[in-house]
Amino acid sequence: MYDVIIIGARCAGSPTAMLLAQRGYSVLVLDRDSFPSDTVSTHIIKYSGVKQLEKWGLLDAVVATNCPPLHQARSHNGDFLLTGTAPPKDDIPMIAPGVRC
């Protein structure tokens, strides 16, 4: 018997499961892939995600994977290319670390 069943253990499902379990809920997480896997669920972790990882005590483990910080972002929309450099905030690049390992 579970209080919560979460389908998908990627960038949304995993932290949701963690937070609910920390609050005492019985949580079951299901994912169609086995872990570890090379399935990519996202390409970057933006500043707000980096701050959450730091708050949860997980940022050092992510940084230890040697994924490089990204200081510049590019977005292609048809013939339109948008490129920008995000200023660091609290010594953390706005888009970092790039999860493209």
Residue 27 one-letter amino acid: V
| % the chain with pLDDT above 90 | 22
User: Helix, strand, or coil here: 55?
Assistant: helix
Which are the contacts of 47, defined by CB distance < 8 A and separation ≥ 6? 86, 89, 92, 93, 94, 95, 96
Q: Is the pLDDT of residue 57 over 70?
A: yes
CA atoms within 13 A on the CB side of 44: 14
Residue 47 one-letter amino acid: Y
What pLDDT does residue 28 have? 96
Q: Is the pLDDT of residue 99 over 50?
A: no
Residue-averaged pLDDT of the chain:
79
Full-model pTM: 0.58
